[in-house]
């Protein structure tokens, strides 16, 4: 493992062990509930729109380090964005994870820690599931 891979590993584990915006959600505030049966991952999401910006993005769930760290990173990245900016970031991240575009094209730094997951195609779903869930959340908040 080279220095960069080690750094990415450290960032990922930090989000897994010290998740941001993670707390138990009441059933009536859950706006998306994503599952990845292959890995046993679950991510439940909630958020609000405040003055035209995504606020209060929170999640709870369980599963592998990649799925939970990715959800934690996502909450940090999307809080404070407009719905349009949030959708653009989600598209960009999901496309990067699928190898459809470069990973470092303007994505926030912590997300680069997930770039190594692309080497394991079966784990890509672990990294993207919370982002797909957030698309559903935005859909509900803005339509
Ligand atoms: Zn997983």
- Supply the DSSP symbol for 39: T
Q: Where are the domains of the chain?
A: 3-142
- pLDDT at residue 53 is higher than 70: yes
What is the Å distance from ligand 1's center to 64 Cα? 4
* pLDDT at position 5: 87
Output the CA 40–ligand 1 centroid distance in Å: 7
Confidence band for 107, pLDDT divided at 50, 70 and 90: confident
Bigger pLDDT: 66 vs 109: 66
Average pLDDT over residues 61-84: 97
pLDDT tens-digit readout, 16-45: 999 999 999 999 999 999 999 999 999 999
Q: How remote is the CA of residue 72 from the centroid of ligand 1, in Å?
A: 14
What gap in Å lies between CA 46 and CA 94, rounded to an integer?
A: 19
Question: Does residue 117 register a pLDDT over 80?
Answer: yes
Looking at residue 131, its pLDDT comes to 98
Global pTM value: 0.95
Task: List, as one string, the DSSP characters of 73-123.
Answer: HHHHHHTT-BHHHHHHHHHHHHHHHTTSS-S-SS--GGGGGGGGGGGSGGG
Centre of ligand 1 to C-alpha 39, Å, is 5
Distance 52 CA to ligand 1 centre (A): 32
Distance from C-alpha of 37 to C-alpha of 40, rounded to nearest angstrom? 5
pLDDT tops 70 at residue 47: yes
* Cα of 127 from ligand 1 centre, angstroms: 7
CATH number of 3-142: 3.90.1010.10
**Could you say which DSSP state residue 18 is in?**
S
Distance CA 73, CA 5 (A): 17
Q: What is the mean pLDDT of the chain?
A: 94
Q: In what order do the strands lie in the sheet with 32-36?
A: 32-36, 41-50, 53-62
The fraction of the chain above a pLDDT of 70, given in percent, is 99
Q: How far is the CA of 141 from the centre of ligand 1 (A)?
A: 27
Q: Give residue 105's pLDDT.
A: 64
- How high is the pLDDT of residue 138? 98
């Amino acid at each position: 493992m080279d220095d960069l891979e080690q750094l990415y590993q450290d960032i990922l584990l930090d989000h897994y062990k010290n998740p941001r915006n993670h707390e138990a959600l009441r059933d009536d505030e859950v706006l998306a509930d994503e599952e990845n049966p292959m890995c046993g991952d679950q991510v439940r999401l909630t958020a609000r729109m405040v003055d035209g910006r995504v606020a209060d993005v929170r999640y709870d769930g369980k599963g592998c380090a990649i799925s939970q760290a990715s959800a934690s990173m996502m909450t940090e990245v999307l809080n404070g964005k407009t719905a349009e900016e949030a959708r653009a970031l989600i598209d960009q991240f999901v496309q990067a994870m699928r190898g459809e575009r470069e990973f470092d094209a303007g994505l926030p730094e912590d997300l680069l820690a997930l770039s190594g997951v692309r080497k394991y195609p079966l784990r890509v779903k672990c990294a993207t599931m919370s982002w797909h869930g957030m698309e559903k959340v935005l859909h509900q908040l803005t339509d």
